[in-house]
Amino acid sequence: MRQGTIWLSSFGAGAATAWLFDPAAGKRRRHRIADAFAHVGHRTVKGTSTLGRDLGNRTQGVVARARRRFSWNNPDDEVLEERVHSALGRIVSHPHAITVRVCAGHVTLDGPIPRSEEHRIVHAVGAIPGVSGVETSFNPHIQPAHPSYSEAIRPGAHMAPRPDILQRNWAPSTRAIAVGTGVAMIGAAAVRRDRTSIGLAGAGAALIARAATNRPLTGLVGIGAGRRTNEGRKSISRGSAA
């Protein structure tokens, strides 16, 4: 077994030497290999730089959020009033009809509102960090003069952003983490060598492919391509008809 390995290694080394130093095409092949290595090195440096910038930006974002969280519980009255107005705009149908006054963290609310919204307003305002108390002087018998305005008219106006892993395009740091996770999964599959290792290795390979191409897996395997093609043909046909 050992002699066979040595023989195969020697044969491979000899074939590679003959291919690289062939008198007719060896120089061109060596130049092509050198260009390929230079290209890979340039892409690696560029990718590392992009990854470093992305990680730096994310770190700055985490630090900024941490600072805001530490200062969130002790706002001044002006900031607290803005927070109350922002909360009212998300939970009531007529936020501009409510007068907000803040003094040393104590919030006073006044104005005409529907009776059904009073409890929700008090609960939401009282949950705002920095609010020490809520006092209301609502008149539930008087309805606001403006037309009704609710969040149902503005779907998605306050939707939270989707996690990066669920978006179509991943950030460089997310792709790097995905590649590392995929390699770890393949390594674990190689160590286990049981029935589950095949699925584990397949999942790792799919994760690496998704991160390397930055395309959804459905696009990589061609799912949905026919539908997009048909939609493109329909749009071209409509444009030609117009």
Q: What is the largest CA-CA distance in the chain?
A: 99
pLDDT, average across residues 42-68:
78
Tell me how far CA of residue 6 lies from CA of 2, 12, 29, 227, in angstroms.
Answer: 6, 10, 26, 54
Is 182 within 8 Å of 162 (Cβ atoms)? no
Domain borders along the chain are: 23-72, 77-145, 165-241
**Which of the four pLDDT bands, split at 50, 70 and 90, describes residue 197?**
confident
155: pLDDT strictly greater than 50 = no
154: pLDDT strictly greater than 50 = no
147: pLDDT strictly greater than 50 = no
Average pLDDT, the chain: 76
pLDDT, average across residues 119-144:
80
Q: How far apart are CA 124 and CA 120, in angstroms?
A: 6
The predicted structure's pLDDT at residue 149: 42
CATH number 3.30.1340.30 given to 77-145: yes
Q: What percent of the chain has pLDDT over 90?
A: 2
Which three-class secondary structure state does DSSP give residue 80?
A: helix
pLDDT, average across residues 68-85:
76
The predicted structure's pLDDT at residue 148: 46
The predicted structure's pLDDT at residue 153: 39
Q: What DSSP element (H or E) covers 176?
A: helix 172-192
